[in-house]
Amino acid sequence: MQDLSSFNSFGLHVHAQNLVRICSEADLKNCPSDHALILGRGSDILLTDDYEGTVLVNCISSLDIRHEGDRWIVRSGGGMELDSLIETLIARNIPGLENLSAIPGTVGAAPIQNVGAYGAEVGEHIVKIEYFDLDRRCFGSLSHDECEFGYRTSFFKKHPELRYFVTAVTFSLAEKFVSRLTYKGLAGEALDTPYKVREKVIALRRSKLPDPAQIGNAGSFFKNPEVSEDKAADLRRSWPDMPVYPQSDGTVKLAAGWLIDKAGCRGITHGRAGTWENQALVIVNRGGARPHEIVALAKYVQMEVMNTFGISLEPEVRIYGKTGEISWDQI
Ligand code: EPU
């Protein structure tokens, strides 16, 4: 049995029958694929049980950077840390990904849920994803449009039955730096280089989010819910200071962290699980928590938000049990 505590950022002591590090495309051709679970660095998952199969850890860390016209074409191995890639690009004066600085996890995992922060989403810059299909045992690729990126979703998340191991991600980045400072913590700042944006984003993240190396967590546990304009207007009558983010499709996105906070669940502790004091949307392992304690805390938070606002929060993290992915409602 293999201990997975350093392969899930909650730091939960769960095990897998076997663990194989995949360091190249060649490794994939011979790897065991029956019931294999693919992991990057386990930054956005909750493991509820010991896994009855093999875990394949993505360690493919190649990097190829070329210049084409007025753009940089960057092809990164799926196992590279996203933040190491961003640091390398900024050191080489290649802008575009700086708003996504310090997000834990790998390049290969980032497009699965289209990670986003501080006004940017990774999918905006992706032109190609290469993968190995563990069931058909063949290589393939998806173009930007085929990835169907949306808010914390993609083709991969919409098709959990497909077991695609992401071998490489290709980004197309404009040579000229255009700052994106729409997020309120960045607006009004004199951030005129990618390096300055990166430094500011890192400082903002540190001020709000716990470092998984010190306190187990998987970032935002729930997605920000999208509701109708009517529902948002209705809630605003009772909660005039509730943040609202109108979307282009007419729906309104609400801040799950704010809802959890106002439902009285910021900084709470149940057993060895809790919500983070500076950002209620983050569920933390306060030390030695078992999976069921994280689940119980999350269910409690979900129920309090439902009772207070009539809104059902949906997990952002993916949840895996004994034999594979499980839906939140099944737990
Ligand atoms: N808020 C509270 N109390 C809280 C938390 C938030 O009142 O405990 C309020 C904030 O003051 C703000 C609003 O809620 O008015 C939104 O909070 P914040 O700006 O921190 O962002 P978020 O919507 O909670 C999202 C992402 C984060 C990302 C930040 C910054 C989701 C689910 N989460 O959080 O992503 O870092 O924006 O861009 O979309 C992640 O996905 O793991 C993650 C951390």
Distances (CA, A) of 181 to 97, 138, 223: 13, 41, 22
Q: What is the pLDDT of residues 17-72, one digit of tens each?
A: 999 999 999 999 889 888 899 999 999 999 999 999 999 999 999 999 999 999 99
- Cβ(98)–Cβ(178) below 8 Å: no
**pTM (2 d.p.):** 0.96
Backbone angles phi, psi at 163, to 5 degrees: -105, 85
Ligand 1, atom 7: nearest CA belongs to which residue? 258
Catalytic annotation, residues = 152, 220, 316
Architecture of domain 222-314 in CATH? Alpha-Beta Complex (3.90)
The H-assigned helical ranges of the chain are 25-30, 82-91, 155-158, 194-208, 229-238, 256-260, 291-309
Domain borders along the chain are 2-58, 63-204, 222-314
259 lines ligand 1 (CB under 6 A): no
- 279 CB less than 6 Å from ligand 1? yes
Q: What's the Rg (C-alpha) of the chain?
A: 20
Task: Evaluate if residue 188 carries a pLDDT over 90.
Answer: no
Domain 63-204 architecture = 2-Layer Sandwich (3.30)
Task: Give, using CA atoms, the residue closest to atom 41 of ligand 1.
Answer: 220
261 DSSP assignment = I
Over residues 302-327, mean pLDDT: 96
Neighbour order of strands in the sheet with 2-3: 2-3, 15-22, 51-58, 37-39
Query: Quick check: CB of 42 below 6 Å from ligand 1?
Result: no
Is residue 258 in contact with ligand 1, taking CB distance under 6 Å?
yes
Task: Note the pLDDT of residue 139.
Answer: 97
Question: Ligand 1, closest atom to CA 222?
Answer: 32
pLDDT digit string, tens, across residues 108-132 = 999 999 999 999 999 999 999 999 9
213 class by beta-carbon count within 10 Å (0-12 exposed, 13-18 middle, 19+ buried):
exposed
Q: Tell me the average pLDDT across 242-262.
A: 96
261 lines ligand 1 (CB under 6 A): yes
Q: Which ligand 1 atom lies nearest to the CA of residue 276?
A: 8
pLDDT classification of 184: cutoffs 50, 70, 90 = confident
Adjacent-strand bridge partners of 126? 171
Between the CA of 223 and the centroid of ligand 1 the distance, in Å, is: 10
Cα dist from 130 to 33, 72, 185, whole Å: 18, 18, 35
Which option is the CATH number for 2-58: 3.40.80.10, 3.30.43.10, 3.40.50.1980, 3.30.750.24?
3.30.43.10
Give the distance (Å) from ligand 1 centre to CA of residue 265.
Answer: 15
Give the SS3 label for residue 182. Answer: coil
Number of H helices, E strands in the chain: 7, 20
